[in-house]
Structure 1
């Protein structure tokens, strides 16, 4: 029997993939009259991968998705033109490429930066700019976010995220899945996020926010959906802590009953990140927790820092024992040294996160919500839409 366990966040398993396929889901979503768009942050290198071509091709033939927004980051003008041709060839009129390095978009960001702290440019910045365009364009009701490197992509994935928003009474949806191949994947969520949540609960006791953050099956999933009106009001960080911060922002701006987590695949895989990326990711994730907890009145002394680190290490090692059991039961490879080595690396990231947190005047600045940008700088969204649409017309 499928896992039907419920805790704080409503949790929906995908029980009948054969019956509830993309055709059925698309038809029922379209009956609502709500327009679904998909936003994909990407680099130019993604366009040379099989994953990106498969994703675009799948979306092109999915009736329930009306718009696709590719946010292209850190690309030259020639690379933008190549990416745009690929998108036009595959998606036809359904696709838009938002070139983040467009000189006119850079000017707009510089203008915004004179009013607001934009922080270090990263994935969050790309998503934020994409949301700004979607808000200004006003052609999408429900927005799905996912990455460009999904190896196991199916048409059902974005539709399963959009369905609870378009058809039911939810405002925000988060995807979840199992990640494994020859061995268990998901190093950061398995060996850092889950044990860290438990460690914080041990130290600080019961806290509804920590219970909420610990209730997501795959909290670092980049796959999520919500009304455009929801995303325009979320304060998104510019760094690797985006997924965690969006969950925290959802908690701040919505009731838990308005959120849902949906199983979007029985097995999921994406392109694996190198070790340096994992260090940066873990540091930013933990720094996000420091910001969120301090905003709720928690004071972090040097003694608390040591306690968090030691409690995390002990808890993470307990998790490793469970992962070994899961691996053995399912006939998967398991390397105890590799698992424990990641715990050592991630524990060092705790020290780095505290150091960065203490040295920043305003820790981990959140990008301003678009409503406030428009209030301070009227016409900004209109200018973004004009710049993007003008750039699209330069490539035939």
Structure 2
């Protein structure tokens, strides 16, 4: 247990340290659920997966229920029907958005926003309707096998204390190994190498988050409308860049969500961590450039590798201290792979703030529902 603060407010889980007492803050966070919308992005592989089943089952336990649970789904046409039927089986106020529906593709293309798609685009499509429906928006992934309903309360708690943005952090320790590899071995050493060369507030802000690539965050509806989402895996970093502009150090907080167990990706390939590192790098470097930092690309990969080497020595000591397996050579191999991702970001293809969007959230809801309207009991609102 520790209680160290970062440049942003860091809210810890002290376990039984409060004697199990119910606090006013906890009560406020529970009550805030009724005025919040939850966004849970999914792809076809989440259909009836154990992790997604757990997430939705835990959300059913929330009392009061959230204003709405938006599920942006990217799935093949033959799977979207079964997906909706499966979601309807949960006692939740779900609103399903089929993110690759023909109507969505046409809506974006007509607005000049066609092109690459991925998690960022899916979440962005839901953020507008979610911010219209509620005072606050909670976003989290559907692949956490350790997910608990209390995570929604914890993410919302800072918003009841006048913060505008809240980010989750947690330990990624599974099977007697350290995970969270893209954060540990790419994001953290890259930010450290920038911090060593630049005394810039934006770099301090990006370095203050204990798990910057976590998919779990909460924001006021106003801040959610002002996020410019990268279209794919750069979403988490892009969100931090906009949160810095809107909320800054004083309006941002991070909350301890304990230990998470997630699905794991291979390292190599465009769909692995190697491919994700390119998108994370582009988002991160675009954010710091926008705030006046010159990354000095000619030396940045070398500086990144040096920072990564130092961190690997620290991870090795931490793993040994806790009796965990650790493979320094394998981790250094990942460093070398990720270093290839460090280059100037290409053209800016971020989606606009919803405050500047060329269409309304209602247009997205209509375009994402090509099926016949129906209701099952009182659960489905789509």
What TM-score do the two structures reach when normalised by structure 1?
A: 0.87
| 1:367 aligned onto 2:339 | no
CA shift for structure 1 position 252: 1.3
1:175-214 deviation line (CA, Å, top 9, x unaligned): 00111111101111111111111111223x3111111110
Report the equivalent of 2:143.
Answer: 149
- CA shift, 1:111, in A, is 1.8
- Please give the per-residue CA displacement for 1:336-365, whole angstroms capped at 9, x wherever unaligned: 221111111111222xx43xx3xx4xx232
The answer on whether the counterparts of 1:220 and 1:244 sit within 8 Å (CA) in structure 2 is: yes
Q: 1:262 to 1:366 in 2, by over 3 A?
A: same
Partners of 1:147 and 1:223 within 8 A in 2: yes
2:71 corresponds to which residue? 70
Q: Over the residues paired in the alignment, what is the CA RMSD in angstroms?
A: 2.4
Deviation of the 1:34 alpha carbon: 5.0
Secondary structure at 1:257 match in 2: coil
1:255 & 1:318 partners in 2: Cα distance? 29
Would you say the 8 A contact 2:32–2:156 is kept in 1? no
Q: Is the 8 A contact 1:119 1:367 kept in 2?
A: no
Which position in structure 2 is the counterpart of 1:292?
287
Shift of 1:382: 2.5
The residue correspondences of 1:97-116 to structure 2 (distance < 5 A) are 97-113=96-112
- The CA distance in 2 between the partners of 1:111 and 1:344, in whole Å, is 41
The answer to whether the 8 A contact 1:287-1:364 is kept is no
- Alignment map for 1:149-188 (pairs within 5 Å): 149-165=143-159, 167-181=160-174, 182-188=176-182
Other-structure match for 2:95: 96
1:239 paired with 2:232, answer yes
Q: Which residue of 1 aligns with 2:9?
A: 10
**Structure 2: distance between partners of 1:21 and 1:191:** 39
C-alpha separation in 2, matches of 1:81 and 1:286 = 36
How has the CA–CA distance of structure 1 residues 50 and 372 changed in structure 2, closer, same or farther, with 3 Å as cutoff?
same
In structure 2, do the counterparts of structure 1 residues 62 and 26 end up closer, same or farther at CA, with 3 Å as the change threshold?
farther
Alignment match, 2:275: 280
Higher helix proportion (structure 1 or 2): 1
1:226-375 matched pairs, under 5 angstroms: 226-265=219-258, 267-275=259-267, 276=269, 277-299=272-294, 304-350=296-342, 353-354=343-344, 357=345, 360=346, 363-373=347-357
TM-score, length of structure 2 as denominator length: 0.90
1:121 equivalent in structure 2: 117
Q: Secondary structure at the match of 1:225?
A: strand
Q: Single out whichever of 176-185 and 248-257 deviates more from structure 2.
A: 248-257
Q: Distance between the aligned counterparts of 1:340 and 1:176, measured in 2?
A: 24
Measured after TM superposition, the shift of residue 296 of structure 1 is 3.0
Cα deviation digits, residues 349-387 of structure 1 (max 9, x gap): 22xx43xx3xx4xx23220111212xx44xx32222334
CA contact (8 A) 2:203 2:288 kept: no
Q: In the alignment, does 2:381 pair up with 1:381?
A: no
Question: Do the aligned residues in 1 keep the contact of 2:34 with 2:65 (CA within 8 Å)?
Answer: no
The answer to whether the 8 A contact 1:26-1:62 is kept is no
- Change over 3 Å in CA distance of 1:297–1:164 after alignment to 2: closer
- Given that residues 51 and 150 in structure 1 are in contact (C-alpha distance below 8 angstroms), is that contact kept between their aligned partners in structure 2? yes
Cα distance in 1 between the residues matched to 2:370 and 2:190: 46
Superposed CA deviations along residues 275-324 of structure 1, whole A, max 9, x for unmatched, are 22211211111112322232233446xxx323111111111011101001
1-structure distance, mates of 2:27, 2:329: 49
Would the aligned equivalents of 1:35 and 1:65 in 2 still touch at CA under 8 Å?
A: no
Question: Residues 124 and 22 from structure 1, CA distance in 2 versus in 1: closer, same or farther, beyond 3 angstroms?
Answer: farther
Q: Which residue of 2 aligns with 1:213?
A: 206
Note the C-alpha offset of 1:26: 7.4
Contact 2:42 2:73 in 1 (8 A): yes
Residue aligning to 1:199: 193
Shift of 1:132: 2.2
- What is the SS of the residue equivalent to 1:143? strand
Contact 1:26 1:63 in 2 (8 A): no
Change (3 A) 1:314 1:123: same
1:85 corresponding residue in structure 2: 85
Tell me how far apart the structure 2 counterparts of residues 365 and 226 of structure 1 sit (CA, whole Å).
23
